[in-house]
Chain A
Amino acid sequence: MYLEAVNLKKRYGKFVALKSLNLKVEGRKCVGYLGPNGAGKTTTLKLFTRLLNPSGGEAIIDGYSVFKEPKRALSNVGTLIEMPGLYPYLTPEENLRLICELRLKSDCDIKGALEAVRMYEWRNKRVGKFSKGMIQRVALAAALVTDPEILILDEPTSGMDPRGMAEIRNIIKSLKKDSKLIFMSSHLLSEVTEVCDEVAMLNHGTLLLYDSVNSIVERYRSSAVELTTLTPVDLSVIQSIEGVKSAEQLAPNRVRIEFDGGAEQQYRILNSLLSREIKVIEYRSSGMALENAYLKLIGGEAHE
Chain B
Amino acid sequence: MSDVLQMLVMAKYQFKSYMRAKRLYIILLITALVIALIVGVNSYFGNPSEDTVKKTAMDFANFAPTLVVLTALFFGGDAIASEYQNKTGYFLLPNPVKRWAILWGKYIASLLAGTLIVSIYYIAGTAYTYYFHNSVPIELGYSYLYALLFLASLMWFTYLFSSFFKSGAVALTVVAILYFFVFNIVDGVSQIAGVEPWFSITYASAILTLVFEGQHMGDYAHSQTLGHGLSITIYHPYLWEGCVIMLSYLLISAVLTMVIFNRREMK
- Distance of A278 from chain B, by nearest CB (Å): 54
Q: Cβ of A79: which chain B residues have Cβ within 8 Å of it?
A: 94
Is there a chain B Cβ closer than 8 Å to A281's Cβ? Answer: no
Are A90 and B17 in contact, with the CB atoms below 8 A?
A: yes
Are A71 and B93 in contact, with the CB atoms below 8 A?
A: no
Are B89 and A51 in contact, with the CB atoms below 8 A?
A: yes
- Distance of A47 from chain B, by nearest CB (Å): 10
Interface size, chain B (Cβ < 8 Å): 28
Measured CA separation A264–B68 after assembly (Å): 80
Are B94 and A77 in contact, with the CB atoms below 8 A?
A: yes
Are A86 and B2 in contact, with the CB atoms below 8 A?
A: no
Q: Cβ of B91: which chain A residues have Cβ within 8 Å of it?
A: 84-87, 95, 99, 139, 142
Summed over the interface, the residue pairs from A and B with CB atoms below 8 Å come to a total of 91
Q: Which of B39-47, B140-148, B151-159, B259-267 contacts A (4 or more CB under 8 A)?
A: B259-267
Within 8 A of B (CB), among A63-117: 70-75, 77, 79, 81-90, 94-95, 98-99, 101-104
- Distance of B168 from chain A, by nearest CB (Å): 12
Are B2 and A104 in contact, with the CB atoms below 8 A?
A: yes
Known contacts A51-B265, A85-B86, A90-B16; is A101 also within 8 Å of B9 by CB?
yes
- Distance of B141 from chain A, by nearest CB (Å): 36
Q: Cβ of A49: which chain B residues have Cβ within 8 Å of it?
A: 93-94
Q: B265 touches which one: A53, A73, A82, A86 (CB < 8 A)?
A: A53
Known contacts A52-B267, A87-B13, A89-B21; is A99 also within 8 Å of B95 by CB?
yes
Are A87 and B88 in contact, with the CB atoms below 8 A?
A: yes
Q: A98 touches which one: B9, B21, B86 (CB < 8 A)?
A: B9
Is there a chain B Cβ closer than 8 Å to A46's Cβ? Answer: yes
0/1 interface trace, chain B 64-103, chain A, CB 8 Å (1 if under):
0000000000000000000000111111111111100000
Measured CA separation A82–B16 after assembly (Å): 26
Are B94 and A50 in contact, with the CB atoms below 8 A?
A: yes
Known contacts A70-B96, A103-B95, A103-B96; is A51 also within 8 Å of B90 by CB?
yes
Is there a chain A Cβ closer than 8 Å to B233's Cβ? Answer: no
Measured CA separation A12–B265 after assembly (Å): 11
Within 8 A of A (CB), among B1-31: 2, 5-6, 9-10, 12-13, 16-17, 20-21
Is there a chain B Cβ closer than 8 Å to A126's Cβ? Answer: yes
Measured CA separation A126–B88 after assembly (Å): 15
Are B90 and A71 in contact, with the CB atoms below 8 A?
A: no
Q: B94 touches which one: A74, A86, A90, A126 (CB < 8 A)?
A: A74
- Distance of A43 from chain B, by nearest CB (Å): 9
Q: Cβ of A12: which chain B residues have Cβ within 8 Å of it?
A: 267
Q: Cβ of B9: which chain A residues have Cβ within 8 Å of it?
A: 98, 101-102
0/1 interface trace, chain A 140-160, chain B, CB 8 Å (1 if under):
001000000000100000000
Q: Cβ of B2: which chain A residues have Cβ within 8 Å of it?
A: 104
- Distance of A206 from chain B, by nearest CB (Å): 21
Are A102 and B90 in contact, with the CB atoms below 8 A?
A: no
Are B95 and A102 in contact, with the CB atoms below 8 A?
A: yes
Are A102 and B97 in contact, with the CB atoms below 8 A?
A: yes
- Distance of A151 from chain B, by nearest CB (Å): 11
Measured CA separation A102–B96 after assembly (Å): 8
- Distance of A118 from chain B, by nearest CB (Å): 19
- Distance of B112 from chain A, by nearest CB (Å): 17
Q: Cβ of A99: which chain B residues have Cβ within 8 Å of it?
A: 91, 95
Q: Cβ of A101: which chain B residues have Cβ within 8 Å of it?
A: 9, 12-13
Q: Cβ of B90: which chain A residues have Cβ within 8 Å of it?
A: 51, 81-85
Q: Cβ of A152: which chain B residues have Cβ within 8 Å of it?
A: 94
Q: Cβ of B92: which chain A residues have Cβ within 8 Å of it?
A: 102
- Distance of A15 from chain B, by nearest CB (Å): 12
- Distance of A98 from chain B, by nearest CB (Å): 5
Are A86 and B96 in contact, with the CB atoms below 8 A?
A: no
0/1 interface trace, chain B 248-267, chain A, CB 8 Å (1 if under):
00000000000000010111
Q: Cβ of A84: which chain B residues have Cβ within 8 Å of it?
A: 87-91
Q: Cβ of A73: which chain B residues have Cβ within 8 Å of it?
A: 96
Within 8 A of A (CB), among B211-227: none
Measured CA separation A104–B97 after assembly (Å): 10
Are B98 and A46 in contact, with the CB atoms below 8 A?
A: no
- Distance of A130 from chain B, by nearest CB (Å): 13
- Distance of A28 from chain B, by nearest CB (Å): 21
A–B complex contacts, Cβ < 8 Å, 20 sampled? A51-B93, A52-B265, A52-B266, A53-B265, A70-B98, A71-B97, A81-B266, A84-B89, A85-B86, A85-B87, A85-B91, A86-B88, A86-B91, A89-B16, A95-B91, A102-B9, A102-B97, A104-B6, A142-B91, A152-B94
17 additional A-B pairs beyond A72-B96, A74-B96, A89-B20, beta carbons within 8 Å, are A46-B265, A51-B265, A53-B265, A70-B98, A71-B97, A71-B98, A84-B88, A84-B91, A85-B91, A89-B17, A94-B13, A101-B13, A102-B9, A103-B95, A103-B96, A104-B5, A104-B6
Those 5 A-B pairs whose CB atoms lie nearest each other, nearest first: A89-B20, A84-B90, A85-B87, A49-B94, A51-B266
Residues of A within 8 A of B (CB): 12, 46, 49-53, 70-75, 77, 79, 81-90, 94-95, 98-99, 101-104, 126, 139, 142, 152
